[in-house]
């Protein structure tokens, strides 16, 4: 929550609107369109989605009861209560702090070259150099109670994530326990339990989920995109070859 609020403040402060007259009001939706929008029942939509999900990911066979009990104990160590809330709160706070430490110049540097187009017929004007002042300082100057409001937003977000975690974590833990009970035998479980009962194992369990939200892990997820883009031409060629193969098979069957 705090991240999105701060990001909105950042956008309003660091990227002023260049051409207010360019914004146009969208035409009002017609009465039939409004009626159609109101007729959508979110619960019915969710029920349909859950039915579809159940078909694609059916429940696995019932695990051995004794092994399932051990798996539940292991899962509580690897995913203790509050893990999700702690991970999300840390991620949002780190991201918000990074945004607040940025300046107008930082935001401008992220824009692609030629990203700001000037209206036709307008005379070229010397644009003011973007400020290098951190956004945190700019917002604090405009809002005397900025620090207090930021602290309140952080506290609210932390409480909200804990509540969300309390609601969703039990389902996640149960699913993980059932999967673990089917994937590992008694000997492997004994070794897993021995590790988790050590100080290092307990520390790993507490940090396991949070590691996915660490900056280096997030960067690794995004840094693979250029590699995928390099592969795109070859993948397109392979897909075209497969399409030709399927069409040829279809013609042979027709003959």
Q: What pLDDT is recorded for position 206? A: 81
Distance CA(5)–CA(93), nearest Å, equals 12
Q: pLDDT digit string (tens) for 219-228?
A: 888 888 888 8
- The pLDDT confidence band at residue 41, using thresholds 50, 70 and 90, is confident
Contact 2, 100 (CB under 8 A): no
Q: What is the pTM of this model?
A: 0.60
- The pLDDT confidence band at residue 123, using thresholds 50, 70 and 90, is low
Residue 5: CB atoms within 10 A of its CB come to 15
Contact 85, 165 (CB under 8 A): yes
Query: Count of alpha carbons within 13 Å of 214, Cβ hemisphere only?
Result: 9
- Find where tokens 């909105």 sit: 8
Q: pLDDT digit string (tens) for 145-193?
A: 999 999 999 999 999 999 999 999 999 899 999 999 999 988 898 898 8
- The pLDDT confidence band at residue 208, using thresholds 50, 70 and 90, is confident
């Amino acid at each position: 929550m705090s991240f999105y609020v701060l990001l909105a403040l950042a956008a309003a402060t660091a990227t002023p609107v260049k051409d207010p007259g360019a914004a146009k009001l969208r035409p009002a939706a017609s009465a039939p369109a409004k009626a159609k929008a109101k007729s959508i029942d979110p619960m019915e939509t969710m029920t349909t989605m859950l039915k579809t999900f159940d078909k694609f990911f059916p429940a696995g066979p019932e695990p051995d009861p004794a092994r399932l009990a051990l798996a539940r104990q292991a899962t509580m160590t690897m995913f203790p209560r509050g893990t999700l809330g702690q991970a999300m709160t840390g991620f949002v706070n780190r991201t918000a702090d990074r945004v607040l430490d940025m300046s107008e110049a930082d935001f401008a540097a992220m824009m692609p070259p030629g990203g700001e187009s000037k209206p036709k017929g307008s005379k070229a004007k010397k644009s003011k150099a973007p400020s290098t002042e951190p956004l945190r300082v700019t917002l604090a100057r405009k809002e005397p109670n900025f620090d207090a409001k930021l602290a309140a937003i952080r506290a609210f977000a932390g409480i909200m994530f804990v509540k969300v975690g309390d609601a969703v974590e039990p389902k996640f833990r149960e699913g993980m326990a059932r999967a673990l009970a089917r994937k590992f035998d008694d000997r492997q479980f004994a070794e897993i339990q021995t590790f988790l009962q050590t100080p290092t194992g307990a520390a790993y369990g507490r940090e396991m989920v949070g590691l996915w939200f660490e900056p280096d892990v997030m960067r690794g997820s995004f840094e693979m995109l250029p590699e995928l883009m390099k592969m795109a031409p070859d993948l397109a060629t392979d897909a075209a070859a497969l399409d030709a193969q399927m069409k040829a098979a279809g013609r042979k069957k027709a003959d």
